[in-house]
């Protein structure tokens, strides 16, 4: 990519992610981002009005990647709801585990960034909303029986925290974690079934 390319928000966010990975969240500045792009920092501020807004946008983009992958499971798949739910939970776990394992420094950076903003709350709301869709689908097909799909969705999300909450990232490399994930998923699936 050269300075001649149009300066899109997406290019700025990519450069910001690189800068954050290199310098860490404490040191990375908008000037660093502008320098990496070969533009003035004023050009960056035209797209993101504050450093906080830029950091929040890069965090939201990072979280959205997982949401998009998960949405595809809901819309594309013809699986019955129980196996779709299992598939969704496993994909969420894999996505978080990969992010933590493949690039631990960037992951640690994002932990700092998510602590600064409310985008995590929106991310959690989106994920719980997706779970609710799957549970409602299962209720319509007669495979799940729940009193309140929204409550059940929140309960499934809470009960699987060990497999998606970054607080547990250090345990995601344990050899037993896969079996533990299966045991929790089995128990929850049994709890939802009609």
Q: What residue ranges bind a second copy (CB under 8 A)?
A: 151-152, 154-156, 158-162, 165, 167-168, 179-180, 183-184, 186-192
Q: Which CB sits closer to a second copy, 98 or 193?
A: 193
Quote the crossing angle between the two packed helices 81-102 and 51-76, to the nearest 10°.
Answer: 140
CA distances from 84 to 98, 112, 193 (A): 21, 32, 13
Q: Which CB sits closer to a second copy, 32 or 137?
A: 137
Q: Which CB sits closer to a second copy, 62 or 157?
A: 157
Minimum gap (Å) between residue 157 Cβ and a second copy: 10
Tell me how far the alpha carbon of residue 162 is from its chain's centroid. Answer: 15
Minimum gap (Å) between residue 80 Cβ and a second copy: 18
Minimum gap (Å) between residue 21 Cβ and a second copy: 25
Quote the crossing angle between the two packed helices 149-159 and 119-140, to the nearest 10°.
Answer: 120
Minimum gap (Å) between residue 165 Cβ and a second copy: 8
Q: Which residues make Cβ contacts (< 8 Å) with residue 167, sequence separation at least 6?
A: 161
């Amino acid at each position: 990519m050269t300075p001649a390319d149009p300066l899109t928000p997406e290019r700025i966010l990519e450069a910001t992610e690189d800068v954050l990975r290199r310098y860490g969240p404490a040191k990375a500045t908008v000037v660093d981002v502008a320098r990496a792009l070969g533009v003035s920092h004023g050009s960056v501020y035209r797209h993101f009005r504050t450093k906080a807004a830029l950091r929040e946008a890069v965090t939201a983009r990072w979280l959205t990647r997982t949401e998009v992958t998960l949405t595809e499971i809901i819309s594309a798949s013809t699986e019955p709801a129980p196996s779709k739910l299992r598939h969704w939970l496993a994909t969420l776990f894999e996505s978080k585990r990969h992010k933590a394992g493949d690039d631990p420094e960037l992951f640690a950076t994002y932990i700092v960034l998510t602590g600064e903003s409310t985008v995590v709350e929106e991310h959690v709301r989106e994920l719980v909303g997706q779970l609710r869709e799957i549970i409602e689908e299962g209720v319509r097909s007669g495979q799940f029986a729940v009193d309140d799909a929204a409550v059940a969705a929140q309960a499934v999300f809470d009960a699987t925290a060990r497999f998606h909450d970054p607080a547990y990232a250090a345990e995601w490399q344990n050899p037993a974690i896969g079996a533990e994930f299966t045991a929790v998923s089995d128990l929850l699936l049994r709890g939802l079934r009609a």
